[in-house]
Amino acid sequence: MFDFQTPIQLIPGIGQQYQKKFKKLGIETVRDLLFYFPFRYEDFSQIKKIAEIIPNEINTIEGKIIQIKTFKTFKKKFFITEAIVEDETDQIKVIWFNQPYLTKNLKTNDFISIAGKLVEDKNKCYFLPSHYEKITNLNQEHRETGGLIPVYSETEGLTSRTIRFFIKKCLKETRFPVDPLPHSIIKKYNLPELKSALKAIHFPNSLSEAKIAKKRFLFEDVFILELIILIQRQKMKQAKGFLIKTKMDVLEKFSQELNFQLTDDQKKALVDILKDLQKGKPMNRLLQGDVGSGKTVVAVMAALMTVVNNYQVAFMVPTEILAKQHFQNFSQLFKNFDINIGLLTSNDAQINFLGLISKVKKSDFLKDCFNQKIDIIIGTHALIQKNVKFKNLGLIIIDEQHRFGIKQRKALLVTKKDYIPHLLSMTATPIPRSLALSLWGDLDISSIKELPKNRQPIITKIILPHQREKLYQFIKTEIKKGRQVFVICPLINDSIKLEVKSVNQEYEKLKEIFPELRIGILHGKLKSADKEKIMKEFLNKKIDILISTSVVEVGIDIPNASIILIEGAERFGLAQLYQFRGRVGRGFYQSYCFLLSETNNINSKKRLESLIKVKNAFELSEIDLQMRGPGEFLGTKQSGMPDNLMEALKHLEIVQLAKKEAEEILSIDPHLESHRLLKEKVENQKEILEIIN
């Protein structure tokens, strides 16, 4: 007998070669094998008489072999095995290609069950099998034909048929552990128990049985995840946070100096944040809102309250260009306040002391930061270097938080022993409801859905190759009106070198088309000073067309830019395309987003068409979840999440039920002392927090 921890090489029939092949699929134990679920099923359940076979459809037939032979073709030198099979209604020729061993397994007078298609070719008619099995007795259970046959992801030398064989063996010969799902939950939702569910998912009698089994495992995965997150949240509630009081006179002074009114959503989000800051517990809030909805000004006001309470603020952003833009904006917004602002990137250190901006040595910057002579420090990942120390860090703001790795985000939180700084994360890629409930269940979420008044909707169009000339004429017309244009070059195999080449080629092409226009280029290989110079020139209208890589994706604010043209649009994700589109439409002019694509891929076309239809980022996030899965929101490089859990998180209903049950269990048994198996499973899967936090 086996148990779940038995190494697969101890299963009879799995030698060294199979062990290596299973390892390629991530299968090293009996548990791994049993939880290697099929991705689809082939339905061979409708057994037909030979006379009833329908051409070009999957049919399953049963009959007796009355003749079988194997021969080698003269011209192409491959093997053909021919058999004549008959039942009480008719006879049919069955042909296998390049399987000469069949005549050792199948003999005249053997009974056989075959699943396959009837092929009609040049007045010839034969049956082409995809699966077959010998019938040794009338009560034999079909494994390869006559029912639903599971199909698995394969690797070279390891077929679905072989995987099925060993799974069947393990189902028969394994001692199963006690079901980790509480019996009350299994009964309440009419779910199959562990062993029954595994049998049903690998060898179902019907698709509905397989669906119920799958639902059980989806539920279990989310349920365990919810327990982990809720326990973590409970621990965070015990931690101490800095008490930051709201000073209304300071807020009113700041609001009066703004040249616009906050929207209702902005006001509500600000109230949420200010309440959190006054609780004395560390805030963990996500501020999500559409591109251009005004998240930054809300974060600025939270930073202001933190500084006037004598604490420091760290504002971390994903790119150097964006860091410099925020530094300039903060400097402008706080020009009438006694607040010192610093900028720290890998290439630059600047300080705004009382309205005077100066470049400084990094060593001097770090001293001023540690001595609290700088109130707000804006920077890239440079903020989390070991030599960056804060004296009194009270608030961390992370812009586009999903772009930073786990260790990067956590590094800022490690400060004083007894106190944890408040954390405000911002994103223009809203989290779908199912993920907000599950993966980010420990976050409080504020949403800004209103856009500032007088913003015109951006017109989005897919441009086909034959429409390019017309598009270029339109661009000329808009530039004559004084507008500016972004051109985005496609992502090429994650290679910066190839991206640079792509930008340079686009530059040469557009120089020929628009010889009279001023064209600039921007990419990741440029020096920091060159990037800054180009962005200043574009902002000051000294460049008409800016050709760029995805470096402009996040946050760059050029109100006069009214057109963005995206080459190779099919290479980008939906959320990324939406971010690109958000680079225009920030002024008072009608803006346009043109998607250039030459793909015939149906899914890519659907993705581009959905960008035209979506009204806002919240709607888009739900579509993107279904099309591309949770990995898009986690970031592909740090995702490491099990496939089954990734699938489960698409289902809002399952997430809601699992969360409810997890909350109920923890309300009566907060440390899972009465649920030993659940506690073990939670402990064993804690690493999931490293993926989502």
DSSP string covering 585-645, please? --SSS--EEEEE-----HHHHHHHHHHHH--SHHHHHHHHHHHH-THHHH-TTT----HHH
Sheet holding 341-344: strands in order across?
356-359, 349-353, 341-344, 376-379, 312-316, 393-399, 422-427, 284-289, 444-448
Q: Encode burial over 604-643: b for 16+ CB neighbours within 10 A, e otherwise.
A: eeebbebbeebebbbebbbbbbeebbbbbbbeeebeebee
- pLDDT at 202 (0 to 100): 95
Q: What does DSSP say about strands 148-151 and 40-43: parallel, antiparallel, or unpaired?
A: antiparallel
Q: Which tokens is 481 given?
A: 């009106």
Q: Are strands 592-596 and 312-316 parallel, antiparallel or unpaired?
A: unpaired
Using only C-alpha atoms, the chain has a radius of gyration, in whole angstroms, of 32
Total Cβ atoms within 10 A of residue 534: 19
| Rounded-to-integer distance, Cα 546 and Cα 555, Å | 16
Element at 459 (helix H, strand E): strand 459-463
> Mean pLDDT, to the nearest integer, of 635-649?
57
d(CA 632, CA 625): 7
Decide which of 80 and 235 is more confident: 80
Which is nearest to 349 in space by CA: 369, 329, 371? 369
Contact by Cβ (8 Å): 3, 174: yes
624 has a pLDDT exceeding 80 = no
Q: What is the structure's pLDDT at 412?
A: 57
Q: What is the number of residues in the chain? A: 693
Domain regions of the chain by residue span = 1-40+161-175, 46-146, 244-279+294-427, 459-615
Measured in degrees and rounded to the nearest 5, phi and psi for residue 141 equal -80, 125
Flag the least confident range among 21-35, 475-489, 568-582, 635-649: 635-649
Mean pLDDT of 450-474: 87
Residue with tokens 């094998």: 33
Residue 334 CA: distances (Å) to CA of 26, 253, 330, 352: 54, 11, 6, 10
Cα atoms found within 13 Å of the Cα of residue 246, Cβ hemisphere only:
15
- DSSP class of residue 51 equals G
Question: Residue 637's pLDDT is what?
Answer: 40
How many whole angstroms separate alpha carbon 606 and alpha carbon 610? 6
Assess whether pLDDT exceeds 60 at residue 638.
no
Residue 305, both tokens:
């309250």
Report yes or no: 517 and 545 within 8 Å, Cβ to Cβ.
yes
- 281 φ/ψ sector (left φ>0, alpha ψ -120 to 50, else beta): beta
Worst-scoring range by mean pLDDT, 10-14, 110-114, 256-260?
256-260
Least confident of 185-199, 464-478, 580-594: 580-594
DSSP symbol at 284: E
Confidence check: pLDDT of 555 > 60? no
Quickly state the pLDDT bin for 406 (edges 50, 70, 90). very low
DSSP-based three-state secondary structure for 26: coil
Q: State residue 475's pLDDT score.
A: 95
What's the CA dihedral at 146, 151, 154, 160 to 10 degrees? -20
Query: What is the Cβ-side half-sphere exposure of residue 584, based on CA atoms within 13 angstroms?
Result: 28
Average pLDDT over residues 185-201: 95
CATH T-level topology, domain 1-40+161-175 = DNA polymerase; domain 1 (1.10.150)
What gap in Å lies between CA 692 and CA 431, rounded to an integer? 13
How high is the mean pLDDT of the chain? 85
**CATH fold match for the domains 46-146 and 244-279+294-427:** no
Topology of domain 244-279+294-427 in CATH is: Rossmann fold (3.40.50)
Q: pLDDT confidence of 194, banded at 50, 70, 90?
A: very high
Q: Which residues, 6+ apart, have CB-to-CB distance to 104 below 8 Å? A: none
Q: At what angle do helices 617-628 and 574-581 cross, to 10 degrees?
A: 150
Q: Which residues pair with 120 in a beta bridge?
A: 125
Dihedral (CA of 299, 301, 303, 309) sign = negative
Contact between 283 and 424 under an 8 Å Cβ cutoff? The reply is yes
Q: What is the pLDDT of residues 655-678, one digit of tens each?
A: 889 889 999 999 999 999 988 888
pLDDT, average across residues 275-279 = 95
For range 83-112, the mean pLDDT: 91
* Cβ pair 498, 550 in contact under 8 A: no
Query: Given this model, what pLDDT does residue 405 score?
Result: 44
Are 37 and 61 contacting, i.e. CB atoms less than 8 angstroms apart?
Answer: no
Give the tens place of pLDDT for each residue, 125-176: 899 998 888 887 655 555 566 678 899 999 998 989 899 999 999 999 999 9
Quote the pLDDT of residue 404: 46
Q: What is the pLDDT of residues 338-356, one digit of tens each?
A: 999 999 998 889 999 988 9
d(CA 72, CA 511): 63
d(CA 366, CA 374): 9
Predicted model pTM: 0.68
Question: H-helix or E-strand containing 89?
Answer: none
Percent of the chain with pLDDT over 90: 46
Contact partners, residue 449, CB within 8 Å, separation at least 6: 265, 289, 290, 293, 616, 618
**How many alpha carbons lie under 13 Å from residue 194 in its C-beta half-sphere?**
17
Task: Please say whether the beta carbons of 426 and 399 come within 8 A.
Answer: yes
| Maximal C-alpha separation, the chain | 98
Percent of the chain with pLDDT over 70: 86
Cβ atoms of 591 and 456 closer than 8 Å: yes
Helix (H/G/I), strand (E/B), else coil: 153: coil
Report the phi/psi class of residue 454: left, alpha or beta, with left for phi > 0 and alpha for psi in -120 to 50: left
CATH 3.40.50.300 fits 459-615, yes or no: yes
CA 139 to chain centroid, in Å, comes to 48
Q: For residues 26 and 14, what is the distance between their CA atoms, to the nearest angstrom?
A: 15
Query: Would the CA dihedral through 270, 275, 280, 282 be positive or negative?
Result: negative
Q: Which of 528, 534, 575, 524 is nearest to 558 (CA)?
A: 534
Which CATH code is given to the segment(s) 46-146? 2.40.50.140
Q: Is the pLDDT of residue 501 over 80?
A: no
Burial class (CB in 10 A: 0-12, 13-18, 19+), 10: exposed
Question: How far is the C-alpha of 202 from the C-alpha of 578, rounded, in Å?
Answer: 40
- Could you tell me which residue, 357 or 121, shows the higher pLDDT? 357
Q: Does the structure show a pLDDT above 60 at 399?
A: yes
For the record, the structure tokens of 375 come out as 């109130």
Average pLDDT over residues 237-248: 89
d(CA 359, CA 355): 13
- Across 560-599, b (16+ Cβ under 10 Å) vs e yields bbbbbbbbbbbbbbbbbbbbbbbbbbbbebebbbbbbbee
